[in-house]
Structures are given as structure tokens and as C-alpha cells.
Chains A and B, each alone.
Chain A
Amino acid sequence: MPGALSRAAAIVGAAEAKEIGYPETPKTAIQLHIEAIKAVSEQTGIPISRINGVFGAGWSSQIAEYLGLHPAYIDTTSVGGCSFEMHVHHALAAIHAGIIDVALVTHGENGWSQRATGGRGTGRARGMDPWDPGSLYTNPYGVSGAPSNYSHAMTRHNHRFGSTPEDFAHISVVTRQWATLNPRAVMHSKETHPFGGPITVEDVQNSRLVSWPLTLLHICLVTDYGGAILITSPEIAKSVKTKPVWIAGAGESMSHSNMLEMDDFTATSAAASSAAAYRMAGMGPEDMEMAMVYDSFTITAGITVEMLGLAPRGEGFTLWKDGHAAPGGRLPINTNGGGLSFNHSGMYGMQLLVEAYRQLSGTAEDGVNGLKGKQTSARSCVVNGTGGSLSTTGTLVLVSD
């Protein structure tokens, strides 16, 4: 008997770039992608705008951005020559699951032409980011790393909603309160860090300016981290001795890759990814008893809770300012102390997942490495990761029995 995914999808067209092999004039990788994509669209009569899943070996978000697409499924599995067979496999599953119905698997690589272009448009361009077509128009202007980008979003939020950097400083203050309850947090106390322990709004605002309006304490830590989770089938989950935390809902989306293409500096695609996750879960923001939201910067967290429907537009920061997100509040947020005061290794999504599991499984006070954290009574949690420059988002709705 065929498996459930058998015949769940079909390949309906296949095309190549105009010139392949040894082109007369050098080609860039993006050119090879676009020629092939345009061709298969024309071949099948399926408009490019109809694509809702983008699969590529390493730079799917840039391809999607280049095409002006906001796909519901983004796969960058890049494991060598067999990657594209795997993409087909993933697309089949995604289509079977009803997440998408038109998947683009694309590849462009100028192994020949890059010799002629000195590496440009390939993977080894000098000074610019070859995987990011927009970087040619942003990198000359002195921005260096995430803080120098995210500050522009804070300025726009302040302008549009009349919020202030002080409003957002409350996010740092409250998140630090959680860190003081988590001995594993870098900023737990003066014992763990010279500047650890409780802080005030004044401390945040008086800390060193990095990228106005962001001061140092609006910005996450840079630390080491390791983390892992195991996900199993319901059958296995019921048979192991640990407590299951169910993935009730999941969604993903993106609004751009380079901030140059960020349409609304006060919004992220978490609105779309959380809508998908809530829909799958049959739950809404009102059902969430806690939240774990990516807080690379105060502005990241403040905008995100607005996108997740946990606060009205323009007022996300009030969850912290009014104490709701704090220990003992009605909606605990970032109970580990966050990227701001617990730990941020560069990509913080795993820290979110580990803390969400600990809280919902009731094991936060069992401790890791012998240290106890702060347990909440939450039985549901919305988890939202944010990548890039407020670019990409993944949302999970997790629940315990």
C-alpha cells in the first residue's frame, strides 16, 4: 500500500537558463537562476507570483526577495549535490501537508564565468556579500552588523506611534528581572558579571550609545551557547518518561532579506507566521499564557509582540512597561532573561525553544547543570524567532497537557 505522501505532488515543468556551459559573456549566479525561473514559468503558464514555496541550496530568501515573493515555505537545505533531490522531497511533504501548492526548486551557479568575473556574483566577491544582491547598495555606507541596522526601525516606530527609546528601555529592565531569577543568565548578578543584577531605565538610557537611538543595554549579549531538542511522533512521545510539549501550531514567513527592502520598518512577517501558527493550533493570542520572543534588541521584542497579537499596534512595549511581562505578571515573556540578559550566541532561536520546553514541561526549577530557574504556571506559549534584519520569522504555538 502506498505511503500517505505518494502522488501527493507532481513535477509539472523543467527549464534551463538561456546559456549554459561556457557562456560567451560571463554570467552571474543570480542571472542563471532568473533565466531558468522565467523560462519554467513561461513553459508551464504558472506565473512567478503564484509560487508560494522557494527551495534553493543556500540563498532562498535572497531569491525570493529578488522575485518580490513572500513565500510560506523557505528551504535552504544545502548539503552538496543531492540537495535538490532533497528539496523535491521536502516540497512533496509541504504540499501534502497543505502548507503550499506551488514549489520552486531553483539553482544557479557560475562555475565557469566566475573565473572571468574575478569571483563577482558567485560566492567570493570582495567586500560585498555575494549572496545578497542588495548589499552592493548598502555596504558602502558604514553600517556594521545588526545594531547599526535595527536602530532605523526604532526611529521609525518612535516617529509613527509617538513611542520613545525610554519606553523600550523597560523591555531591558524587565528582562533583566527575569535574568536575576535565572542563575545561568550572564547578567544574573554581580557574581556572574560585573554589570549583572537589576537595572533601571536610567541605566539603559545612560549606557554607551552604539547606534542612536540604541544604547548598549538595548542590545543583546554576545555569548557562547549550545542547545538541542528532540521531537518525536505522538506514539513515542507518549511512551518516554519525559513530558511532551505539543507543537500545536507552526508558521513561517519573510518580508525581505536586506533591510533595504523592508517595506514597513515597524512591522515584521511575524504577523503572517503567527497567523498561520494560530490557525493550525485553533488558538489565538488570547489563549497564550506566556511568550518567548526573540529579543536581539528591545525594538525586536517590542515589534514582535504587536505582530503576535499580544498587544495593540504601537503599544508592544507596554507589556513590559506596565509589568505584565514581568515575574508575577499576567503574561510572562522571556522567562530565561532573554537575549538581552541571559544568553545570545548570534542565532538565539534554540535558546527560545529550550526555555519554552522547560516552562511548559514544568522543569524550569529542576535546573540545568544543577542550577534552578524560575518556573511559571503557563501551559501554553507562543515562540517567535526573528532572523536577519527583522527579515524572516518562524512562530510556534506550544502547549502542555
Chain B
Amino acid sequence: MANYKKPIPEPDPHSKPFWEGAKAGKLMLPRCADCNRVHWYPRLICPHCHSTNIEWFQGSGMGTIHTFAVQHRAFGGWADEVPFVTAYIDLNEGDRMFTVLRGVDPNKPESIKIGAPVRVEFEAASEDVSIAFWRAV
């Protein structure tokens, strides 16, 4: 954990349930209690119906690959890990997350399939912050 050399987010107060969930290995998602739609990234207001009645729930932690790329150039701590795959993940509950995708071969991008199922996992980057990563299943 002390060796985590990549960017560590500094959570804002509005997304506390997500970061606490991440620490406990749970994918917590924001949902509008009025229109019942999930949104990502977390907001103080529903981007669909503009209700401020936002609730948090534990998601399934499952999704599919929407699109991806293979990074051959990176900076800071990520520079040591090139090539690596970045991907946008369609959550089973709706909306989309960004991630570094695990369990795939960055040297064989043609073997990575859009639409393939993925599962979330968490890595402790510091005592306070765990980061969500997705893995091909």
C-alpha cells in the first residue's frame, strides 16, 4: 500500500458513501429516489430529473466493456505499467465508469471484446482510499 505510486483521489464530501464502500469492498452507487435512475459520477442533483433526493445502494459490481484502448505512454506511477488497458464499463445498473481493466492482454487488443462481462475489485491505495478496478471474467 505504501508502494502505491499512482494518483490517489482525494474524495469530496458528497461521495463519501462510495469511498467508504470501496474500503469495505462494496460498489456503492448513487440513485435518484424520485426517478429511480442510477447516475455516475456521483452528484448532488439527479442529472435526469433534477431531484436532489439522492440515495446510495450497493451495486452488483458487474458490468460490460463499452469501449477500450491500450495505453503505451503514461506518466508518473503509471509509466512503469505500460502497456495497460483502459476501458469504459457499462454498469449492469446503468450509466458508465472508467477504469484500468485487469485480466486482459494489452499486447493482444484484438482478443479484448466490447460487450464482454467484467467484475469490480478494489485496491487499497492508502489507509483511507481504495480504488475500483474492473477485471474481465
> Is A134 a contact partner of B69 (Cβ separation < 8 A)?
no
- Is B16 an interface residue, CB under 8 A from the partner? no
Distance to closest chain A CB from B40 (angstroms): 7
**What does the 1/0 interface line of B49-75 toward A look like (CB < 8 Å)?**
010100000000000001111111111
| Bound: A258/B95 CA distance, A | 14
> Is B96 a contact partner of A260 (Cβ separation < 8 A)?
yes
Tell me whether A41 and B73 are in contact in the complex, defined as CB-CB below 8 angstroms, given that A142-B84, A143-B86 are known contacts: no
| Bound: A64/B38 CA distance, A | 18
Tell me whether A127 and B72 are in contact in the complex, defined as CB-CB below 8 angstroms, given that A28-B14, A134-B41, A137-B41 are known contacts: no
Closest A-chain residue to B74, C-beta based? Answer: A142
Q: In the complex, which residues of chain A have a beta carbon less than 8 angstroms from the beta carbon of B104?
A: none
**What does the 1/0 interface line of B5-17 toward A look like (CB < 8 Å)?**
0111111111100
> Is A155 a contact partner of B41 (Cβ separation < 8 A)?
no
Closest B-chain residue to A214, C-beta based? Answer: B69
Q: In the complex, which residues of chain A have a beta carbon less than 8 angstroms from the beta carbon of B8?
A: 127, 140
> Is B50 a contact partner of A41 (Cβ separation < 8 A)?
yes
> Is A133 a contact partner of B72 (Cβ separation < 8 A)?
no
Distance to closest chain A CB from B13 (angstroms): 7
Tell me whether A121 and B12 are in contact in the complex, defined as CB-CB below 8 angstroms, given that A148-B71, A155-B68 are known contacts: yes
Distance to closest chain A CB from B76 (angstroms): 8
- Is B109 an interface residue, CB under 8 A from the partner? yes
Closest A-chain residue to B73, C-beta based? Answer: A210
B109 contact from A144, A213, A259, Cβ within 8 A: A213
> Is A133 a contact partner of B41 (Cβ separation < 8 A)?
yes
Q: In the complex, which residues of chain A have a beta carbon less than 8 angstroms from the beta carbon of B70?
A: 151, 209, 211-212
**What does the 1/0 interface line of A203-216 toward B look like (CB < 8 Å)?**
00000111111100
Q: In the complex, which residues of chain B have a beta carbon less than 8 angstroms from the beta carbon of A261?
A: 41
Tell me whether A136 and B9 are in contact in the complex, defined as CB-CB below 8 angstroms, given that A38-B45, A144-B73, A148-B86 are known contacts: yes
Distance to closest chain B CB from A135 (angstroms): 9
| Bound: A213/B78 CA distance, A | 19
Distance to closest chain A CB from B68 (angstroms): 6
- Is B136 an interface residue, CB under 8 A from the partner? no
- Is B124 an interface residue, CB under 8 A from the partner? no
| Bound: A24/B100 CA distance, A | 38
> Is A265 a contact partner of B67 (Cβ separation < 8 A)?
yes
> Is B43 a contact partner of A212 (Cβ separation < 8 A)?
no
Q: In the complex, which residues of chain A have a beta carbon less than 8 angstroms from the beta carbon of B41?
A: 133-134, 136-137, 258, 260-261
Closest A-chain residue to B43, C-beta based? Answer: A66
Tell me whether A142 and B6 are in contact in the complex, defined as CB-CB below 8 angstroms, given that A152-B69, A260-B41, A265-B66 are known contacts: yes
Q: In the complex, which residues of chain B have a beta carbon less than 8 angstroms from the beta carbon of A38?
A: 45, 50, 52
> Is B50 a contact partner of A47 (Cβ separation < 8 A)?
yes
Q: In the complex, which residues of chain B have a beta carbon less than 8 angstroms from the beta carbon of A140?
A: 6-9, 125, 131
B45 contact from A67, A139, A147, A154, Cβ within 8 A: A67
Q: In the complex, which residues of chain A have a beta carbon less than 8 angstroms from the beta carbon of B94?
A: none
Q: In the complex, which residues of chain A have a beta carbon less than 8 angstroms from the beta carbon of B97?
A: 137, 260
- Is B114 an interface residue, CB under 8 A from the partner? yes
- Is B34 an interface residue, CB under 8 A from the partner? no
| Bound: A68/B97 CA distance, A | 16
Q: How many A-B residue pairs have CB under 8 A?
A: 143
- Is A159 an interface residue, CB under 8 A from the partner? yes
- Is B81 an interface residue, CB under 8 A from the partner? yes
**What does the 1/0 interface line of A18-55 toward B look like (CB < 8 Å)?**
00000000101011001000100100000111000000
Distance to closest chain A CB from B22 (angstroms): 11
> Is A49 a contact partner of B50 (Cβ separation < 8 A)?
yes
Q: B6-48: which have CB < 8 Å to A? A: 6-15, 40-41, 43-48
| Bound: A121/B41 CA distance, A | 15
Q: In the complex, which residues of chain B have a beta carbon less than 8 angstroms from the beta carbon of A126?
A: 10
**What does the 1/0 interface line of A221-253 toward B look like (CB < 8 Å)?**
000000000000000000000000000000000
**What does the 1/0 interface line of B91-113 toward A look like (CB < 8 Å)?**
00000111110000000010000
> Is B72 a contact partner of A66 (Cβ separation < 8 A)?
no
Q: In the complex, which residues of chain A have a beta carbon less than 8 angstroms from the beta carbon of B100?
A: 141-142
> Is B72 a contact partner of A156 (Cβ separation < 8 A)?
no
| Bound: A154/B43 CA distance, A | 29
Tell me whether A156 and B81 are in contact in the complex, defined as CB-CB below 8 angstroms, given that A26-B13, A127-B7, A210-B72 are known contacts: no
Distance to closest chain B CB from A354 (angstroms): 31
B44 contact from A30, A151, A152, A211, Cβ within 8 A: A30
In the A-B complex, list the 9 residue pairs whose CB atoms are closest, starting with the nearest.
Answer: A68-B47, A142-B78, A151-B69, A212-B70, A156-B67, A48-B50, A209-B72, A134-B41, A152-B67
18 contacts between A and B (CB under 8 A): A41-B50, A66-B47, A67-B45, A68-B46, A68-B48, A136-B11, A140-B8, A142-B74, A142-B81, A142-B86, A143-B86, A144-B73, A144-B78, A148-B71, A209-B72, A209-B83, A260-B41, A265-B67
Residues on A lying within 8 angstroms of B by beta carbon are 26, 28, 30-31, 34, 38, 41, 47-49, 65-68, 117, 120-121, 125-128, 133-134, 136-144, 147-148, 151-156, 159, 208-214, 258-261, 265
